[in-house]
Amino acid sequence: MRDRPVVLLKPAVRRTTLAVDVVVLSPRVDALAVLLVRAPSSARERWSLPWDAPQVGEGLEDAAARITRVVLGAAPAFFEQVGTLSDGRRHPGDAEVSVGIAALSPAGVGQPIMDAEWFPLASLPAIAPRHRTIVDHAAAVVRQRVDQSPLAFRLLPPAFTLSDLQGVYELLLGRRLHKASFRRALQASYLVEPMDEWHSEGRGRPAQLFRYAPKKRRGVRRGVRFDLFTD
Amino acid sequence: MRDRPVVLLKPAVRRTTLAVDVVVLSPRVDALAVLLVRAPSSARERWSLPWDAPQVGEGLEDAAARITRVVLGAAPAFFEQVGTLSDGRRHPGDAEVSVGIAALSPAGVGQPIMDAEWFPLASLPAIAPRHRTIVDHAAAVVRQRVDQSPLAFRLLPPAFTLSDLQGVYELLLGRRLHKASFRRALQASYLVEPMDEWHSEGRGRPAQLFRYAPKKRRGVRRGVRFDLFTD
DNA sequence: TGACATTGGTGACGAATTGTTACTAATTCG
DNA sequence: CGAATTAGTAACAATTCGTCACCAATGTCA
C-alpha cells in the first residue's frame, strides 16, 4: 500500500474552458458518414467537427441538438455521450475540456448547410487531433451499443423494410448477416410491427414496411455471455 | 424541417467550473458498496462522493486516481467515465459541470481514511442531488458493461476462486447464476487460467485459485442478439 | 471414528437456439 | 414468355444452454 497523504482532500472547483463536439452520424451509400464543417482559413485543418460551448443553463445534449440543427437543419434522433476529454490534444477552439457527443440522424433527413459536408467514416480529411479521437470513440461506442440499444432504428426513417434494417446493422457491425437468422431473431424480440404498406424499389418483390414498436419483453434472463467480451 | 438560422455557427469556448466526482465501487458482504466522505458541517448533506477539480494538465482519469488514493489509500484497478452532467442539480462545490467516473477496487484493498466510509449501494445516506444521479449512472453503467468487459475481474484480487468470481457476477447482475453453466461458459471463453494454488476457507472442499489471463479469442462472431436490448 | 454437513467440481441429457440450405413469392426487364 | 432480382420462410442439422445428478475433499460433532 502507498503512503497516506498527510493533508486531507480539500476539494475545490476550477475554472476551465469547455466545448461540446458533435459527431453527427448517418448512413450513406455503403458506409456510415460523419458531418464535418469547413473551418475558417486561419485554422490549421480545413475541416472540423461541429462544436460550440453550451450556453449558460443549457444542458450538454441540448447544446448538441442546437449545434446539429444549425449545421444540418434537423435535430438528431438520438444522442449518446462518448466521453469527455481533457488530454492535451489540440482542439480547434483550444478548449481545455471537450465533451464528445454522438448524434444519430436517419438517412435523408436534413440538408447540410453550405459549409458542411458528409464524409465516410473510413476516409475523413485531416481534422484536429482531439476531434480525431472523439470520432474514433463515437464509432466505437455506437458499434458496441448496437445490440443493446435500438440505435439502428434511429438511423432509419419511421417506416423501413427489413432489408433496410439489416443493411444498417451490417454497416454498424461491419460484417454481413444471414437473412433468415436476422429475421428470426427480430421476430422473437417483438421490437417491430408490420404496417399495411409495401415499398417497391423498382426490381424485385416489394417489401413490407415495418415500424419500431417495442413490446414489453418477457423477462428472458439468460446466463452470462463471456463470448460477448470486446477486449 | 425547421427554419434555417440566418447566422452561421460561430463557435466559441466558454469558461465554466468543473469537478471530477468519483464513485468508488467495491464488493462488500452481499452487496456492492460505494465510498463516501463526510462533508464539512457547513454542507447541506452529511456525506458526499469524493471529488475535486483536475489540476492543470491532469487528465480526468488521473484526477480520479488521485482522489481515490487520498480517500482509500490505493489506486483503483479500473476506471470508466459514466457521463458528464451539466444540469442545474446541486453539487457540493457548486460546479457547473461534473464528470462522473466509476472506479473499481477489489475487496480488501486499501483502507478508507477516517472521514470516509463504505455504504451499500442500496442504502446510501442523503447526498447532493447531482451526486445521487452520478451514483445511479455509475451503477447502471457497471451493470450494463459487466458481460462485455472484464469488470468483474477488477473487483477481485489477482488470484480468486471460481465461486468468488461467480459471486461478483451475481452481485453485479443482481440474480443467481447456475454453477455448471457459469463454469462451462467461462471455460469456453479462455479468460482465466488455473494456478497451482488452492484456497481453503474452513469448511468444504478447498477451491482451486485462478487468475485472469485472457487468451486470443477465436473470432466467434455471432448473429445479432436482440434479446440483449436493455431499453 | 465415522456419519453428515458443506463447499468445489463435472458428466450427461433433453430443450432451446442458431447457422444454413433450399425453397416459394412477387415483381421488372428484355 | 423466361431470366433476373429482391423478399420472405420452412425445415434440418449443429451447437449451445439449463438442469439434474452425481463425485470429491474438507470440517464438524456426536
Distance CA B100, CA B25 (A): 13
C-alpha distances in Å from residue B92, one per residue of A69, A199, B55, B101:
34, 56, 18, 16
Q: Which of A84, A134, A230 to mutate to test the interface with B (most CBs of B within 10 A)?
A: A84
Tell how far CA A121 is from the center of its chain: 11
> In the 3-class helix/strand/coil scheme, how is B10-79 assigned residue by residue?
CCCCEEEEEEEEEEEEEEECCEEEEEEEECCCCCCCCEECCEECCCCCCCHHHHHHHHHHHHHCCCCCEE
* Contact check, Cβ <8 Å, A223/B50: no
Q: pLDDT tens for residues A108-122?
A: 898 999 999 999 999
Residue A141 has pLDDT above 90, yes or no: yes
Q: Which residue is nearest to nucleotide D27 (CA to C1')?
A: B203
Q: Is the CB of B184 under 7 A from strand D?
A: yes
DSSP codes joined into one string, A190-216: T-EEEEEEEE--SSS--EEEEEE-PPP
Outline which parts of chain A fall under CATH 3.90.79.10.
18-145
Closest CA to B93 of B175, B20, B143: B20
Residues of A in contact with B75 (CB under 8 A): 2
Among A83, A11, A4, A141, which Cα is nearest to B63's?
A11
Per-residue pLDDT of chain B (231 residues; tens, 9 = 90+): 444 444 466 788 889 999 999 999 999 888 999 999 998 888 889 999 999 999 998 999 999 999 999 999 999 999 999 999 998 899 999 999 999 999 999 998 989 998 999 999 999 999 999 999 999 999 999 999 998 999 999 999 999 999 999 999 999 999 999 999 999 999 999 999 999 999 877 788 999 999 999 987 766 678 898 888 887
Q: Is the CB of A222 under 7 A from strand D?
A: yes
Mean per-residue pLDDT over chain A, rounded: 91
β A207-212/B14-28 pair status: unpaired
What grid cell was written down for A152?
A: 439502428
Selected from 3.30.56.10, 3.40.50.300, 3.30.230.10, 1.10.10.10, the CATH number assigned to the domain covering B152-228 reads 1.10.10.10
Considering chain B, tell me which residue range(s) the CATH 1.10.10.10 domain(s) occupy: 152-228
pLDDT score recorded for residue B229: 85
Does the structural domain A18-145 have CATH classification 3.30.70.2740?
A: no
Instruction: Give the integer Cα–Cα distance in Å for A223 and B67.
Output: 36
The amino acid sitting at B28 is R
Question: For residue B28, how many other CB atoms are within 10 A of its CB?
Answer: 16
CA distance A102 to B152: 28
- CATH number, span A156-221: 1.10.10.10
Looking at residues A199-224, what average pLDDT do you find?
86
Q: What are the chain A neighbours of B11 within 8 Å (beta carbons)? A: 19, 50-53, 92-93
- Of A47, A25, A139, A136, nearest to A92 by C-alpha is A47
Please give the pLDDT value at position B8.
Answer: 61
Considering chain A, tell me which residue range(s) the CATH 1.10.10.10 domain(s) occupy: 156-221
Which of A 177-206 lie inside 8 A of B, CB atoms? 177-178, 181-182, 185-186, 188-189, 191
pLDDT range class, residue A192, cuts 50, 70, 90: very high
Minimum Cα–Cα distance from A53: chain B residue: B13
pLDDT, residue A5, reads: 46
The H helix count followed by the E strand count for chain B is: 5, 10
The model's pLDDT over A57-73, given as tens digits with 9 standing for 90+, comes to 999 999 999 999 999 99
